[in-house]
């Protein structure tokens, strides 16, 4: 008889090292511990990089740097979502919609953040259907991705590969 046994959780260093070694790999699966420890490192680095980019770059360039920085964790997020048996399109849609929103906001930031803001620029941004569709897509896909990342791994193999968390153990009666 076969039993499913969970492997021990990954530690911070081990998780970040594993995620870094698979930086561009979107095939396969990633465990929750690998994902969440790496996201902690990403957020801490993102605060630092975002602060520096915001100080030395124009707003549009800082937004582009932020979107590119998010690309570093996109493959990990894709693998995490696939570990729960869901499609990679959820995090991809979330990233794309977020990038569109950030670029549109950065383009209007100069006109809106002055002493005398340009009301036409604000109206142009907030009446743009692409802006609102992007917000809805980002919210729905982002929430779905977040929920999928919270779920436990499927113990059995799925179409994305073997479970990185569970292994089978055979009972030997003799």
DSSP 34-54: HHHHHHHHHHHHHHHHHHHHH
pLDDT at 174: 54
Number of Cβ within a 10 Å radius of residue 134: 20
Note the pLDDT of residue 119: 78
Spatial CB neighbours of 87, under 8 Å, sequence gap ≥ 6 = 81
Closest CA to 152 of 169, 170, 164: 164
Four-residue CA torsion sign, 166, 40, 24, 139: positive
Q: Which residues contact 63 (CB under 8 A, 6 or more apart)?
A: 102, 103, 105, 106
**Helix, strand, coil percent content, the chain, rounded in steps of 5:** 65, 5, 30
Which residues does the chain have with pLDDT short of 50? none
Q: What is the pLDDT of residue 170?
A: 64
pLDDT of the residue at 172: 56
Cα 23 from chain centroid? 13
pLDDT at 173: 57
């Amino acid at each position: 008889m076969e039993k499913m046994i969970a492997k021990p959780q990954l530690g911070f260093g081990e998780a970040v090292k594993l995620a870094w070694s698979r930086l561009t790999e979107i095939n396969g699966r990633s465990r929750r511990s690998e994902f969440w420890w790496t996201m902690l490192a990403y957020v801490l680095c993102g605060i630092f990089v975002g602060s520096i980019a915001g100080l030395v770059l124009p707003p549009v360039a800082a937004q582009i740097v932020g979107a590119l920085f998010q690309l570093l964790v996109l493959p990990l997020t894709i693998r995490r979502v696939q570990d729960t048996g869901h499609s990679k399109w959820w995090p991809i849609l979330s990233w794309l919609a977020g990038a569109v929103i950030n670029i549109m906001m950065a383009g209007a930031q100069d006109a809106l953040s002055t002493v005398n803001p340009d009301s036409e620029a604000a109206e142009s941004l907030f009446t743009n259907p692409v802006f609102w569709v992007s917000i809805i897509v980002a919210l729905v896909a982002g929430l779905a991705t977040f929920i999928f990342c919270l779920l436990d791994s499927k113990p059995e193999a799925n179409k994305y590969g073997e479970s990185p968390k569970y292994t089978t153990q055979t009972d030997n009666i003799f």
